[in-house]
Amino acid sequence: MTKTAQTVWDNCLSFIQDNITPQAYKTWFEPINAVKLADAALSIQVPSKFFYEWLEEHYVKLLKVALNKELGENAKLVYVIKMENTYGNNQPFTEKIPSANRSAMKSQEVDAPFKNKNPELKNPFVIPGIRNLQIESQLNPNYNFDNFLEGDSNRLARSAGMAVANKPGGTSFNPLLIFGGVGLGKTHLAHAIGVQIKDKYPDKTVLYISAEKFTQQYIESVKKNNRNDFIHFYQVIDVLIVDDIQLLSGKAGTQDVFFHIFNHLHQNGKQVILTSDKAPVDMQDIEQRLLSRFKWGLSAELQHPGFETRISIIKHKLYQDGVEMPEEIIEFLANNIKTNIRELEGAIISLIAHSSFNKKEITLDLAKKIVENYVKHTKREVSIDYIQKIVSDYFQMDVETLQSKTRKRHIVQARQLAMFFAKKLTKASLASIGSQIGQRDHATVLHACKTVDNLASTDKQFRKYVEDLRKKLAV
């Protein structure tokens, strides 16, 4: 019987199907069409260049064995790549990979797998129509809800995260934007949501990526003229987690492509989770249309942990490490490291390490020495409470008066100065500053900052207030 391209390929498929999983066969071999048979060279059509690269990397040996069985030792495989260009030109294009340079069956060198262009993301791009790819989530399983302790400072964000994890894409928290200062647990919470979704819905495609890495991938896709593949890849994600979204600031091209990806995911009921060091209202150089989408769901702030939460964090960390520590030392640590969970955990690790390596008991004196050295080498963030106290003392009033509704000029100016320094010296959002300084809104804080700038440049006495307070706040 005369062999045709189709009969040869059908026989190859029978052999391949017996040697791989049904899912892999359905994903990577069912979409292939036999095109032509010329002597010992079989031409097959694949949906995209990435599809071809994936076959070369993962199935080249299997293809070689299958084709050798059908066409002998001199068998060659020629790929014909066809992909619809969905953005711009709607005409499909065809590219033929010459067997002389790209044949999977050319010689022994075929055993060297085609190198993945992007080792961080196992599947850098995706083929339209191929849905069930095994995409590496990039999640850290050590960041989970069990070790993300709840407190007043994070209750809203944690509860919203749990709701999203239980019903991704099915709550009004889409997108969920988690924002707050450095070291308060934004990345931890984002991973925890992703990890729980993967546990609860193993079939869902979850991907965690930093905004910086996303930008690098986009630039690379433009250079290689495969922007469409880049977009297709992100459009098949079920749960997309982007860390430090504020880093898209000023990057017009990346913002534009993220806008289209976001719209597609949102319209198709997919979940988007973002983290940022500031609230949407405080983000600079981000397109308004993108900012408006960030506000569609819930923006949940992580604030500095209170004393009780800091105590819980220390005890949990000690329990995990199997270390006992006197209560007075735990309270000392909680009282002296207030603004940053990362600093707090770092101090605990340093204390345990010094005790272990030097074979010394953990004492209060050792804790004082560690905290003193640790804090000395760590940039501390001034708290809003501290700023209000310093400003109130300077103007010889109490904090309650500073926060009051009175419109007396000297009290209003003191309040505006407190807001000005809170904006300058902390990572808190305008909304958070306003809330903590007399239950004002973010517009009031913005107005206060502009007023202080204006008065400092036109009023000599007011400028002295600013300089005196700057010295007192040691900045």
Was 187 annotated as part of a binding site? yes
Q: What domains are there in the chain, each with its CATH number? A: 5-111 (3.30.300.180), 145-302 (3.40.50.300), 307-376 (1.10.8.60), 384-472 (1.10.1750.10)
Amino acid at 441: D
pLDDT band, residue 380 (cuts 50/70/90): low
Q: Which amino acid would we find at residue 463?
A: R
Which of 95-104, 194-203, 262-271 is predicted with the least confidence, judged by mean pLDDT?
95-104
12: Cβ–Cβ under 8 A, 6 or more apart, which residues?
63, 66, 67, 69, 70
Sign of CA dihedral 158, 163, 169, 175: negative
Reading the block at residue 379, the tokens are: 């940039």
Residues 6 or more apart whose Cβ sits within 8 Å of residue 349: none
Widest Cα–Cα separation across the chain: 103
Amino acid making up residue 143: Y
Q: Integer distance in angstroms from the first to the last C-alpha of the chain? A: 88
- Token representation of residue 185: 């647990």
201 and 132 Cβ atoms separated by less than 8 Å: no
237-289: per-residue pLDDT in tens? 899 999 989 888 888 888 989 998 998 888 888 999 999 988 887 787 788 88
186 is in an annotated binding site: yes
Average pLDDT of every residue of the chain: 79
Beta bridge partners of 276: 179
Q: Which residue has the higher pLDDT, 47 or 203?
A: 203
* Cβ burial 291-325 (10 Å sphere, 16+ → b, else e): eebbeebbbbbbbbbeeebbbbbbeebbeeeeeeb
Q: Is residue 109 predicted with pLDDT exceeding 80?
A: no
Contact indicator for 192, 288 with CB cutoff of 8 Å:
no
How confident is the model at residue 248, as a pLDDT? 87
Taking a C-beta distance cutoff of 8 angstroms, is the pair 175, 280 a contact? no
Tokens of 359: 């074979």
* pTM passes above 0.75: no
